[in-house]
Chains A and B, each alone.
Chain A
Amino acid sequence: MYVIIAGAGKVGWNLARELIDKDREVTLIERNHDRFRVVEQELEHVVQYGDATELWVLERAGIQRADLVIAVTGDDEDNILICQVAKEKYGVQRIVARVNNPRNHQHFKMLGIQPAVSATQLIMRLIEHEVPEHGLVQLLALEEEHLEIIELEVIEGSPAAGKQIEQIQLPKGSLVISVLRSGRGFVPTPSDTVAVGDQVLLILDPGLESQITPLFAPATVAD
Protein backbone atom coordinates (compact mmCIF):
# COMPACT_ATOMS: atom_id res chain seq x y z
CA MET A 1 0.00 0.00 0.00
CA TYR A 2 1.35 3.41 -0.99
CA VAL A 3 0.33 6.36 1.17
CA ILE A 4 0.86 10.08 0.52
CA ILE A 5 0.54 12.42 3.49
CA ALA A 6 0.23 16.15 2.92
CA GLY A 7 1.48 18.25 5.81
CA ALA A 8 4.37 17.30 8.13
CA GLY A 9 3.02 18.86 11.29
CA LYS A 10 2.66 16.81 14.47
CA VAL A 11 -0.17 14.77 12.97
CA GLY A 12 1.44 14.16 9.58
CA TRP A 13 4.88 13.36 10.93
CA ASN A 14 3.58 10.88 13.49
CA LEU A 15 1.25 9.26 10.98
CA ALA A 16 4.24 8.79 8.68
CA ARG A 17 6.23 7.18 11.51
CA GLU A 18 3.40 4.80 12.39
CA LEU A 19 2.83 3.79 8.78
CA ILE A 20 6.55 3.24 8.17
CA ASP A 21 6.60 1.03 11.29
CA LYS A 22 3.83 -0.98 9.71
CA ASP A 23 5.95 -1.38 6.57
CA ARG A 24 3.83 0.88 4.40
CA GLU A 25 5.43 2.89 1.63
CA VAL A 26 4.98 6.53 2.58
CA THR A 27 5.69 9.96 1.08
CA LEU A 28 5.22 13.00 3.27
CA ILE A 29 4.93 16.44 1.65
CA GLU A 30 5.79 19.65 3.50
CA ARG A 31 5.78 23.16 2.07
CA ASN A 32 7.52 25.00 4.90
CA HIS A 33 11.25 24.78 4.22
CA ASP A 34 12.39 24.99 7.85
CA ARG A 35 9.97 22.31 8.89
CA PHE A 36 10.97 20.18 5.93
CA ARG A 37 14.64 20.35 7.01
CA VAL A 38 13.77 19.23 10.54
CA VAL A 39 11.64 16.30 9.42
CA GLU A 40 14.16 15.32 6.75
CA GLN A 41 16.78 14.71 9.47
CA GLU A 42 14.72 11.75 10.60
CA LEU A 43 12.70 10.59 7.63
CA GLU A 44 15.25 11.36 4.86
CA HIS A 45 13.91 10.65 1.36
CA VAL A 46 10.41 9.89 2.67
CA VAL A 47 9.67 13.61 3.01
CA GLN A 48 9.49 15.86 -0.05
CA TYR A 49 9.58 19.63 -0.11
CA GLY A 50 6.69 21.34 -1.88
CA ASP A 51 3.12 22.60 -1.81
CA ALA A 52 0.85 19.57 -1.99
CA THR A 53 -1.92 21.64 -3.54
CA GLU A 54 0.22 22.00 -6.68
CA LEU A 55 -0.53 19.24 -9.14
CA TRP A 56 3.09 18.72 -10.19
CA VAL A 57 4.13 18.23 -6.56
CA LEU A 58 1.52 15.50 -6.16
CA GLU A 59 2.59 13.94 -9.46
CA ARG A 60 6.24 14.01 -8.44
CA ALA A 61 5.23 12.18 -5.26
CA GLY A 62 3.60 9.52 -7.45
CA ILE A 63 -0.07 10.23 -6.78
CA GLN A 64 -1.07 8.19 -9.81
CA ARG A 65 -0.19 5.00 -7.94
CA ALA A 66 -1.24 6.11 -4.44
CA ASP A 67 -3.76 3.91 -2.63
CA LEU A 68 -4.42 6.42 0.11
CA VAL A 69 -4.01 10.19 0.38
CA ILE A 70 -4.15 11.83 3.82
CA ALA A 71 -4.44 15.63 3.95
CA VAL A 72 -3.51 16.92 7.40
CA THR A 73 -2.24 20.43 6.78
CA GLY A 74 -3.34 23.27 9.07
CA ASP A 75 -5.47 24.75 6.29
CA ASP A 76 -8.95 23.41 5.64
CA GLU A 77 -9.06 24.83 2.11
CA ASP A 78 -5.79 23.07 1.29
CA ASN A 79 -7.02 19.79 2.74
CA ILE A 80 -10.22 20.00 0.70
CA LEU A 81 -8.30 20.79 -2.48
CA ILE A 82 -5.74 18.02 -2.02
CA CYS A 83 -8.44 15.42 -1.40
CA GLN A 84 -10.69 16.65 -4.20
CA VAL A 85 -7.87 16.53 -6.73
CA ALA A 86 -6.62 13.16 -5.43
CA LYS A 87 -10.05 11.62 -5.72
CA GLU A 88 -11.44 13.24 -8.84
CA LYS A 89 -8.37 13.92 -10.98
CA TYR A 90 -6.10 11.03 -10.04
CA GLY A 91 -8.71 8.46 -9.04
CA VAL A 92 -7.19 7.71 -5.62
CA GLN A 93 -9.44 5.14 -3.96
CA ARG A 94 -9.19 6.28 -0.37
CA ILE A 95 -8.76 9.71 1.13
CA VAL A 96 -8.71 11.03 4.68
CA ALA A 97 -8.95 14.72 5.45
CA ARG A 98 -8.32 16.64 8.62
CA VAL A 99 -10.82 19.33 9.59
CA ASN A 100 -9.08 22.09 11.56
CA ASN A 101 -12.14 24.25 12.17
CA PRO A 102 -15.21 22.10 12.90
CA ARG A 103 -17.40 24.77 11.33
CA ASN A 104 -15.84 23.88 7.99
CA HIS A 105 -16.96 20.27 8.28
CA GLN A 106 -20.07 21.09 6.23
CA HIS A 107 -17.89 22.14 3.28
CA PHE A 108 -15.93 18.87 3.31
CA LYS A 109 -19.21 17.01 3.37
CA MET A 110 -20.81 18.99 0.54
CA LEU A 111 -17.77 18.45 -1.67
CA GLY A 112 -17.74 14.73 -0.96
CA ILE A 113 -14.53 14.74 1.08
CA GLN A 114 -15.10 11.80 3.43
CA PRO A 115 -13.95 10.77 5.91
CA ALA A 116 -13.16 14.19 7.33
CA VAL A 117 -11.72 13.96 10.81
CA SER A 118 -11.92 16.77 13.33
CA ALA A 119 -10.10 16.64 16.65
CA THR A 120 -12.90 18.63 18.28
CA GLN A 121 -15.52 16.13 17.16
CA LEU A 122 -13.41 13.16 18.22
CA ILE A 123 -12.96 14.61 21.69
CA MET A 124 -16.68 15.46 21.90
CA ARG A 125 -17.49 11.88 20.99
CA LEU A 126 -15.16 10.63 23.69
CA ILE A 127 -16.82 12.93 26.21
CA GLU A 128 -20.23 11.66 25.16
CA HIS A 129 -18.96 8.12 25.44
CA GLU A 130 -17.65 8.69 28.95
CA VAL A 131 -20.62 10.79 30.02
CA PRO A 132 -23.63 9.53 28.09
CA GLU A 133 -26.14 12.17 29.10
CA HIS A 134 -28.69 11.14 26.54
CA GLY A 135 -28.42 7.38 26.94
CA LEU A 136 -27.38 7.07 23.33
CA VAL A 137 -23.84 7.23 22.02
CA GLN A 138 -23.23 7.42 18.32
CA LEU A 139 -20.11 5.37 17.73
CA LEU A 140 -19.76 5.50 13.98
CA ALA A 141 -21.62 7.09 11.11
CA LEU A 142 -20.99 5.60 7.68
CA GLU A 143 -22.45 8.52 5.79
CA GLU A 144 -21.96 7.27 2.27
CA GLU A 145 -23.31 3.85 3.16
CA HIS A 146 -26.24 5.38 5.13
CA LEU A 147 -25.62 3.31 8.22
CA GLU A 148 -24.66 4.07 11.75
CA ILE A 149 -23.63 2.22 14.86
CA ILE A 150 -24.96 3.35 18.21
CA GLU A 151 -24.58 2.22 21.79
CA LEU A 152 -27.40 2.18 24.36
CA GLU A 153 -27.42 1.21 27.99
CA VAL A 154 -30.32 -1.00 29.00
CA ILE A 155 -32.29 0.70 31.75
CA GLU A 156 -34.36 -0.93 34.46
CA GLY A 157 -38.00 -1.18 33.44
CA SER A 158 -37.29 -0.71 29.74
CA PRO A 159 -39.16 -2.95 27.28
CA ALA A 160 -35.93 -4.75 26.37
CA ALA A 161 -34.73 -5.55 29.89
CA GLY A 162 -34.84 -9.27 30.56
CA LYS A 163 -36.04 -10.08 27.04
CA GLN A 164 -34.47 -12.34 24.47
CA ILE A 165 -33.14 -10.40 21.49
CA GLU A 166 -35.68 -11.96 19.13
CA GLN A 167 -38.52 -10.76 21.38
CA ILE A 168 -37.46 -7.12 21.20
CA GLN A 169 -39.61 -5.29 18.66
CA LEU A 170 -36.79 -3.63 16.72
CA PRO A 171 -37.81 -1.57 13.69
CA LYS A 172 -36.90 -2.86 10.26
CA GLY A 173 -33.45 -1.64 9.30
CA SER A 174 -31.81 -2.22 12.68
CA LEU A 175 -29.87 -5.07 14.22
CA VAL A 176 -28.18 -5.81 17.56
CA ILE A 177 -24.56 -6.59 16.73
CA SER A 178 -23.04 -6.99 20.17
CA VAL A 179 -23.68 -6.77 23.88
CA LEU A 180 -21.17 -5.46 26.42
CA ARG A 181 -21.65 -6.92 29.89
CA SER A 182 -19.32 -6.44 32.89
CA GLY A 183 -16.57 -5.10 30.66
CA ARG A 184 -16.72 -7.93 28.13
CA GLY A 185 -18.43 -8.02 24.79
CA PHE A 186 -20.09 -10.84 22.86
CA VAL A 187 -22.04 -11.24 19.67
CA PRO A 188 -25.49 -12.42 20.78
CA THR A 189 -27.71 -15.05 19.21
CA PRO A 190 -31.45 -14.32 18.87
CA SER A 191 -32.16 -16.35 22.01
CA ASP A 192 -29.68 -14.48 24.24
CA THR A 193 -31.25 -12.36 26.95
CA VAL A 194 -30.55 -8.66 27.43
CA ALA A 195 -30.03 -7.59 31.04
CA VAL A 196 -30.27 -4.27 32.86
CA GLY A 197 -26.91 -2.51 32.71
CA ASP A 198 -25.87 -4.14 29.43
CA GLN A 199 -24.50 -1.90 26.75
CA VAL A 200 -26.07 -2.85 23.45
CA LEU A 201 -24.50 -1.98 20.11
CA LEU A 202 -26.84 -1.66 17.16
CA ILE A 203 -26.33 -1.02 13.49
CA LEU A 204 -29.18 0.91 11.88
CA ASP A 205 -30.43 3.14 9.13
CA PRO A 206 -29.96 6.75 10.23
CA GLY A 207 -33.17 8.20 11.66
CA LEU A 208 -34.31 5.09 13.54
CA GLU A 209 -32.72 6.22 16.83
CA SER A 210 -35.94 7.75 18.10
CA GLN A 211 -37.76 4.43 17.68
CA ILE A 212 -34.96 2.35 19.17
CA THR A 213 -34.00 4.45 22.19
CA PRO A 214 -37.37 3.93 24.01
CA LEU A 215 -36.92 0.15 23.82
CA PHE A 216 -33.69 0.22 25.81
CA ALA A 217 -33.56 3.55 27.63
CA PRO A 218 -37.09 4.98 27.75
CA ALA A 219 -36.36 7.48 30.55
CA THR A 220 -34.00 9.45 28.37
CA VAL A 221 -36.55 10.01 25.63
CA ALA A 222 -38.03 12.93 27.54
CA ASP A 223 -34.77 14.88 26.97
Chain B
Amino acid sequence: MFILIVGCGRVGSAVAKRALDAGHEVSVMDVDPLSHVRLDIDETSSWEDSGGRFTVGTALEVDGLVAAGIEQADVFMAATSGDNTNLVISQIAQRRFRVPRVVVRVSDPGRAAWYAEQGLQTICPTQVAIDQAERALLAV
Protein backbone atom coordinates (compact mmCIF):
# COMPACT_ATOMS: atom_id res chain seq x y z
CA MET B 1 0.00 0.00 0.00
CA PHE B 2 1.00 3.62 -0.52
CA ILE B 3 0.39 5.63 2.63
CA LEU B 4 0.50 9.44 2.83
CA ILE B 5 0.74 10.97 6.28
CA VAL B 6 0.40 14.73 6.75
CA GLY B 7 1.89 15.94 10.01
CA CYS B 8 5.22 14.63 11.27
CA GLY B 9 4.68 14.99 14.99
CA ARG B 10 4.78 12.21 17.59
CA VAL B 11 1.84 10.34 16.12
CA GLY B 12 2.52 10.93 12.42
CA SER B 13 6.22 10.03 12.57
CA ALA B 14 5.68 6.92 14.71
CA VAL B 15 2.91 5.59 12.48
CA ALA B 16 5.04 6.35 9.41
CA LYS B 17 7.98 4.32 10.77
CA ARG B 18 5.79 1.36 11.65
CA ALA B 19 4.14 1.41 8.24
CA LEU B 20 7.55 1.50 6.50
CA ASP B 21 8.79 -1.38 8.70
CA ALA B 22 5.70 -3.33 7.73
CA GLY B 23 6.77 -3.04 4.10
CA HIS B 24 4.49 -0.26 2.85
CA GLU B 25 5.41 2.70 0.71
CA VAL B 26 5.26 5.75 2.97
CA SER B 27 5.29 9.48 2.21
CA VAL B 28 5.27 12.06 5.01
CA MET B 29 4.50 15.76 4.64
CA ASP B 30 5.00 18.55 7.17
CA VAL B 31 5.22 22.32 7.04
CA ASP B 32 8.34 22.25 9.25
CA PRO B 33 11.48 20.84 7.59
CA LEU B 34 13.00 20.20 11.04
CA SER B 35 10.25 17.71 11.86
CA HIS B 36 12.11 15.27 9.59
CA VAL B 37 14.46 14.50 12.51
CA ARG B 38 11.70 12.47 14.18
CA LEU B 39 11.85 9.99 11.29
CA ASP B 40 15.59 9.38 11.70
CA ILE B 41 15.89 9.24 15.46
CA ASP B 42 16.78 5.81 16.91
CA GLU B 43 17.12 4.38 13.37
CA THR B 44 20.25 2.84 11.90
CA SER B 45 19.71 4.29 8.43
CA SER B 46 18.08 7.54 7.35
CA TRP B 47 14.39 7.76 6.45
CA GLU B 48 15.17 8.23 2.75
CA ASP B 49 17.73 5.38 2.69
CA SER B 50 15.08 3.12 4.18
CA GLY B 51 12.82 4.04 1.28
CA GLY B 52 10.65 6.70 2.92
CA ARG B 53 9.60 9.97 1.31
CA PHE B 54 9.42 13.39 2.96
CA THR B 55 7.93 16.58 1.52
CA VAL B 56 7.92 20.03 3.06
CA GLY B 57 4.60 21.70 2.42
CA THR B 58 1.43 23.25 3.75
CA ALA B 59 -1.44 20.82 3.79
CA LEU B 60 -3.97 23.14 2.16
CA GLU B 61 -1.71 23.76 -0.83
CA VAL B 62 -2.84 21.28 -3.43
CA ASP B 63 0.55 21.37 -5.20
CA GLY B 64 2.23 20.13 -2.03
CA LEU B 65 -0.25 17.28 -1.60
CA VAL B 66 0.28 16.26 -5.21
CA ALA B 67 4.08 16.40 -4.80
CA ALA B 68 3.74 14.20 -1.73
CA GLY B 69 1.84 11.68 -3.86
CA ILE B 70 -1.80 12.09 -2.84
CA GLU B 71 -2.96 11.03 -6.32
CA GLN B 72 -1.38 7.59 -5.82
CA ALA B 73 -2.27 7.18 -2.14
CA ASP B 74 -4.29 4.18 -0.99
CA VAL B 75 -4.40 5.54 2.55
CA PHE B 76 -4.30 9.12 3.79
CA MET B 77 -3.77 10.16 7.37
CA ALA B 78 -4.23 13.72 8.65
CA ALA B 79 -2.15 14.05 11.81
CA THR B 80 -1.19 17.71 12.10
CA SER B 81 -1.59 19.52 15.41
CA GLY B 82 -4.65 21.38 14.14
CA ASP B 83 -8.05 19.69 14.35
CA ASN B 84 -9.61 21.94 11.76
CA THR B 85 -6.68 21.57 9.39
CA ASN B 86 -6.98 17.79 9.73
CA LEU B 87 -10.72 17.83 9.11
CA VAL B 88 -10.41 20.03 6.03
CA ILE B 89 -7.51 18.17 4.40
CA SER B 90 -9.05 14.78 5.07
CA GLN B 91 -12.19 15.91 3.27
CA ILE B 92 -10.02 17.16 0.40
CA ALA B 93 -8.33 13.73 0.28
CA GLN B 94 -11.66 11.94 0.36
CA ARG B 95 -13.78 14.06 -1.96
CA ARG B 96 -11.31 15.64 -4.35
CA PHE B 97 -8.61 12.97 -4.64
CA ARG B 98 -10.86 9.98 -3.90
CA VAL B 99 -8.32 8.35 -1.60
CA PRO B 100 -9.93 5.00 -0.65
CA ARG B 101 -9.11 5.13 3.06
CA VAL B 102 -8.85 8.36 5.02
CA VAL B 103 -7.99 8.52 8.71
CA VAL B 104 -8.09 11.78 10.64
CA ARG B 105 -6.83 12.69 14.07
CA VAL B 106 -9.14 15.03 15.98
CA SER B 107 -8.31 16.05 19.54
CA ASP B 108 -11.71 17.50 20.37
CA PRO B 109 -14.17 14.68 21.19
CA GLY B 110 -17.16 16.78 20.10
CA ARG B 111 -15.90 17.39 16.59
CA ALA B 112 -14.48 13.87 16.35
CA ALA B 113 -17.85 12.32 17.14
CA TRP B 114 -19.84 14.45 14.72
CA TYR B 115 -17.42 14.04 11.81
CA ALA B 116 -17.33 10.29 12.46
CA GLU B 117 -21.11 10.30 12.01
CA GLN B 118 -20.55 12.08 8.68
CA GLY B 119 -18.40 9.20 7.47
CA LEU B 120 -14.85 10.20 8.35
CA GLN B 121 -12.70 7.66 10.15
CA THR B 122 -11.67 9.75 13.16
CA ILE B 123 -9.18 8.94 15.88
CA CYS B 124 -9.61 10.94 19.06
CA PRO B 125 -6.66 10.68 21.47
CA THR B 126 -8.56 12.74 24.04
CA GLN B 127 -11.46 10.32 24.05
CA VAL B 128 -9.03 7.40 24.40
CA ALA B 129 -7.39 9.16 27.38
CA ILE B 130 -10.77 9.86 28.96
CA ASP B 131 -11.84 6.24 28.60
CA GLN B 132 -8.54 4.93 29.95
CA ALA B 133 -8.56 7.35 32.86
CA GLU B 134 -12.11 6.36 33.68
CA ARG B 135 -11.16 2.69 33.72
CA ALA B 136 -8.05 3.37 35.80
CA LEU B 137 -9.80 5.61 38.29
CA LEU B 138 -13.08 3.82 38.65
CA ALA B 139 -11.78 0.34 37.90
CA VAL B 140 -14.79 -0.49 35.73
A and B associate: yes
Residues of A at under 8 Å CB distance from B? Answer: 53-56, 75-78, 80-81, 85, 88-89, 101, 103-104, 106-107, 110-111
Contact call A107/B84, Cβ cutoff below 8 A: no
**How many chain B residues touch the partner (CB < 8 A)?**
18
Contact call B114/A53, Cβ cutoff below 8 A: no
Quick one: given A75-B84, A77-B82, are A54 and B110 in contact (CB under 8 Å)?
Answer: yes
Having A53-B111, A77-B87, A80-B84, one finds 11 other A-B pairs with CB under 8 Å, namely A53-B83, A53-B84, A54-B111, A56-B110, A76-B60, A77-B60, A77-B84, A88-B118, A103-B61, A111-B91, A111-B95
Contact call A106/B62, Cβ cutoff below 8 A: yes
| Residue on A nearest B118 in the bound complex, by CB | A88
Give me 7 A-to-B residue pairs in the complex whose CB atoms sit less than 8 angstroms apart, sorted by A's number.
A54-B111, A55-B111, A76-B88, A81-B111, A85-B111, A104-B60, A110-B96
A55 to B87, CA, bound (A): 14
A101 to B59, CA, bound (A): 13
A165 to B82, CA, bound (A): 56
A23 to B82, CA, bound (A): 37
Decide if B19 is an interface residue (CB 8 Å cutoff): no
Inter-chain contact total with CB atoms closer than 8 Å: 44
| Residue on A nearest B82 in the bound complex, by CB | A77
**A51 CB, nearest partner CB in chain B, Å:** 9
A156 to B83, CA, bound (A): 57
Dominant SS at the B interface? helix
A101 to B95, CA, bound (A): 21
Taking CB atoms and an 8 Å cut-off, the chain B residues in 116-139 that contact chain A are 118
A75 to B85, CA, bound (A): 10
A111 to B88, CA, bound (A): 9
A-B pairs with lowest CB-CB distance, top 6: A77-B84, A55-B110, A81-B84, A77-B85, A77-B88, A78-B84
Cβ–Cβ < 8 Å partners of B111 in chain A: 53-55, 81, 85
Residues of B at under 8 Å CB distance from A? Answer: 60-62, 82-85, 87-88, 91-92, 95-96, 108, 110-111, 114, 118
Cβ–Cβ < 8 Å partners of A75 in chain B: 84
Cβ–Cβ < 8 Å partners of A80 in chain B: 84, 88
| Residue on B nearest A89 in the bound complex, by CB | B114
**B107 CB, nearest partner CB in chain A, Å:** 11
Quick one: given A55-B111, A88-B118, are A107 and B60 in contact (CB under 8 Å)?
Answer: yes
Quick one: given A77-B60, A89-B114, A103-B61, are A110 and B92 in contact (CB under 8 Å)?
Answer: yes
A22 to B128, CA, bound (A): 47
Quick one: given A88-B118, A106-B62, A110-B95, are A81 and B110 in contact (CB under 8 Å)?
Answer: no
**B57 CB, nearest partner CB in chain A, Å:** 13
A89 to B115, CA, bound (A): 10
Cβ–Cβ < 8 Å partners of A76 in chain B: 60, 88
A106 to B61, CA, bound (A): 10
**B86 CB, nearest partner CB in chain A, Å:** 9
| Residue on A nearest B109 in the bound complex, by CB | A55
